[in-house]
Structure 1
Amino acid sequence: MNPIVQNMTGMGGMTDQIIASDLLVSAKSAIHSYAVALCETTSPKVRATLQQQLNDAIGMHEQVTNYMVQNGYYHPADVGEQIALDNQNAQKALKMSD
């Protein structure tokens, strides 16, 4: 992130990894919400719209996941590696709060 933008926004600790992680969580939440809404609607037009939104959210989730895996931020196929990374990130977060 640009240092000037970091200072202006107070986001000095924000990293690509944090932003991507937040985006991934948001995509997962959107997928869940669209799926629930899709199950509850009776209108074919609304159902079609929700289905398209669900597909778009799934696509975004895939893109963010691929980005995170390629950059070593996420290890969905290796639980041990992901736990080690999560512990490392937790330690960084604790140091940021000092």
Structure 2
Amino acid sequence: MNGLMKNFTGMKGMTDEVIASDLLLAAKSGVTFTAFALTEAATPELRSVLREQLMAAITAHNNISQYMMAKGYYHPYDFNQQIQADVTAAQTAQNLTK
């Protein structure tokens, strides 16, 4: 997001990493809730639709994860790097109100 748009929208502290992290969390929630709904579905037709939605949600989560790994925002295989990325993201979030 360019500087002018960040200032115009009031998101001057919002970074691509913060946006991607929020999107990843939302995608994970989508997978969780769709899987839960699938286990509660009463009809085969509904289960079929929810299975398709679950696969789409898993694919979205994977795509976001891959994007974040490619950008260096997400390090699922390196605990120390991920902790540092999480600390940086938390500090950025705290600074959004400043």
Q: Distance in 1 between matches of 2:10 and 2:92?
A: 18
Where in structure 1 do 4 or more consecutive aligned residues deviate above 4 Å? none
TM-score when normalising by structure 2: 0.90
Contact kept? 2:34, 2:54, Cα under 8 Å = yes
Tell me the percent identity.
Answer: 46
SS at match of 1:28: helix
TM-score when normalising by structure 1: 0.90
Q: Distance in 1 between matches of 2:96 and 2:58?
A: 32
**1:84 counterpart letter in structure 2:** Q
Q: Distance in 2 between matches of 1:34 and 1:27?
A: 10
Q: Distance in 2 between matches of 1:30 and 1:59?
A: 11
Shift of 1:96: 4.1
CA RMSD of aligned residues (A): 1.4
1:80 equivalent in structure 2: 80
List aligned pairs for 1:1-98, cutoff 5 A.
Answer: 1-98=1-98
Question: Higher relative CO (CA 8 A, sep ≥ 6), structure 1 or 2?
Answer: 2
SS at match of 1:69: helix
Q: What stretches of structure 2 of length at least 5 have no aligned partner? A: none
Q: Distance in 1 between matches of 2:59 and 2:40?
A: 22
Shift of 1:88: 2.5
Q: What stretches of structure 1 of length at least 5 have no aligned partner? A: none
